Structure 1
Amino acid sequence: MTLGDELRSDLDKLVGGPWSVRDGRVVPGTDDVKLFTNDAVKLDAVYLYADLLGSTKLARDFEWETAGKVIRASLRTASTIIKSYGGEIRSYDGDRVMAIFIAGAKNTTAAECALKINYAMQKIVEPALYAELPQLEQDGFDVRMSIGIASGDAFITRAGVRGSSDLVSIGRAPNIAAKLSDIRAESYYRIYITDSVYHSLLEGSQYDNDGKDMWSPYVTDVGGEQMTTYRTSYSWGIG
């Protein structure tokens, strides 16, 4: 079979057949979703994307060994916090991690997770990297992550090359969360959430100890759509 024959055969199966969709109660793994039967798992979920800021500068102005330590430290820290909140990590894309929350007060859980990632980057990761790699501080490189959160229905299916296929999430929630993590507005805002996430927050993750709303409305363009989002510069401490 030629490469062209293989591609045409795959497309016949992937495009020609109907979807088989089932509701999911847990975030599926690769083995839970079939590739060539157009299998999909529908989730009512919250998606969180955490994206390292300044990766272009990092790659351009520093040695790869330095860039590698910054990226690994940032992703490891964010992933550890995500897992501690029950989030399921389903994707790493260069300097970005994607997580899915489906249990309980999932909007609040994702928001609190983001607040702790914000703290950890400023108070734990950055000081550790500055101590080991002083050139980062000398060059004014801030070790930060921008985080986007969105909720709604998503469909998880597979794409790739047979046994090594990856899971992909299809729907507005993952798409919008990814785009919110790309926002580079005022530097002190690091977390962006959709209107629906904001209005689903429990009181403890909406207001600070003085009763002030931690989140402020922000109208922005998201993939060509004007959208009211909410953003914050707050962070939550880690013991």
Structure 2
Amino acid sequence: MQDIHRAHWLAAKCRLLSPIRDFNSIQTRVRQTLDKGVQIDLSTESCKRFLRRRVNQKISVVILYVDIDGSTKMSMSLAPDKFATILHIFSQEMSLVIAEYGGYVLKYVGDAVIALFPAEYDSSQASRNAIECAKSMQEIIKQCINPELRSHGLPEIRAKMSVDNGDVQVVLYGKSIERSHIDIVGLSISMAAKMNPLAQAWHLVIGQSLYEKLANKDDFVEINIDPARWTYVDEKSGSGYKLYALK
């Protein structure tokens, strides 16, 4: 019975879309982080709990990959503590947005935040949630984070985002369900990471698999990519795997 209740709860969570957002509160939190230090402890524990219930299973997910454009150059020009603060603010605010749209933070990798959105019950809705989440991330960076960075004499940041969906395998690296490392393996997470460098600053790029699930495709346009830079093939058609950018 608990599993049934949890399934219904996850399905309802997946339907979450376009939450009401208080930009003033977000900007205040960013300012407090800059003035007083870290405000929130970031953790991937909720995602690990989600995955532990699905060890050795294949699950349908939408993967969102967001990182800071030009972070390497920024790290070379800023004092380590200032750069670390920018990274924490970015990761903090992106993580909170992900949770608002029913997603989980899978991992933090350098300047990147990788999220998964469960798509077991409604893959179309999960896809829309991930896209709306990416749009909200852009808004928050532009309206809340960058104004505070500017006022504190720090460089503004720009983000690149990529989203794709598909089945992944949940893998436990060890014996202990509670202590062993747990992760996902699959084409969708690899594809989202490989797509990201092809996105320009402030751009959202999605894969063909996700695009085909969208009811309204008018907001996206196909990207013409140099075949030397993108050699991935769609498993179903055998032709090149297409990418699309938000207009």
Structure 1 length as normaliser, TM-score?
0.70
How far does residue 63 in structure 1 lie from its aligned partner after superposition? 0.6
Q: 2:171, 2:183 within 8 Å by CA — same for their partners in 1? A: yes
Flag the 1:61–1:116 CA change in 2: closer, same or farther, 3 A.
Answer: same
How far does residue 161 in structure 1 lie from its aligned partner after superposition? 9.6
Flag the 1:135–1:200 CA change in 2: closer, same or farther, 3 A.
Answer: same
2:180 equivalent in structure 1:
165
Flag the 1:109–1:202 CA change in 2: closer, same or farther, 3 A.
Answer: farther
**Alpha-carbon distance between aligned partners in 2 of 1:58 and 1:161, rounded to the nearest angstrom:** 41
Aligned residue pairs: how many? 189
Flag the 1:40–1:161 CA change in 2: closer, same or farther, 3 A.
Answer: closer
Q: 1:30, 1:158 within 8 Å by CA — same for their partners in 2? A: no
**Alpha-carbon distance between aligned partners in 1 of 2:61 and 2:70, rounded to the nearest angstrom:** 29
**Alpha-carbon distance between aligned partners in 2 of 1:90 and 1:112, rounded to the nearest angstrom:** 18
What is the RMSD computed on CA atoms of the aligned residues?
Answer: 2.6
1:200 equivalent in structure 2:
213
Residue by residue over 1:8-55, the C-alpha shift from the partner in whole angstroms, topping out at 9 and shown as x without a partner, is xxxxxxxxxxxxxxxxx6765288269xxxx52211111111112111
2:157 equivalent in structure 1:
143
Which consecutive unaligned segments of at least 5 residues does structure 2 have? 1-6, 11-46, 233-239
- Partner-residue secondary structure (3-state), 1:146: strand
> Do residues 156 (structure 1) and 165 (structure 2) align?
no
> Do residues 190 (structure 1) and 203 (structure 2) align?
yes
Q: 1:30, 1:165 within 8 Å by CA — same for their partners in 2? A: no
Q: Could you tell me the percent identity over the aligned residues?
A: 22
**Alpha-carbon distance between aligned partners in 2 of 1:216 and 1:31, rounded to the nearest angstrom:** 34
Residue by residue over 1:190-229, the C-alpha shift from the partner in whole angstroms, topping out at 9 and shown as x without a partner, is 21101221232243xx5xxxxxx32111133576324311
- Partner-residue secondary structure (3-state), 2:59: strand
- After superposition, residues 52-67 of structure 1 pair within 5 angstroms as 52-67=68-83
Q: 2:51, 2:170 within 8 Å by CA — same for their partners in 1? A: no
Q: 2:160, 2:196 within 8 Å by CA — same for their partners in 1? A: yes
> Do residues 224 (structure 1) and 231 (structure 2) align?
yes
1:97 equivalent in structure 2:
113
- Normalized per residue, which structure has more strand? 1
2:58 equivalent in structure 1:
42
Aligned residue among 116, 134, 141 for 1:114: 134
Flag the 1:122–1:161 CA change in 2: closer, same or farther, 3 A.
Answer: farther
**Alpha-carbon distance between aligned partners in 2 of 1:101 and 1:47, rounded to the nearest angstrom:** 6
**Alpha-carbon distance between aligned partners in 1 of 2:203 and 2:182, rounded to the nearest angstrom:** 27
How far does residue 158 in structure 1 lie from its aligned partner after superposition? 2.4
Which consecutive unaligned segments of at least 5 residues does structure 1 have? 1-24, 137-141, 207-212, 234-239
Q: 2:161, 2:199 within 8 Å by CA — same for their partners in 1? A: no
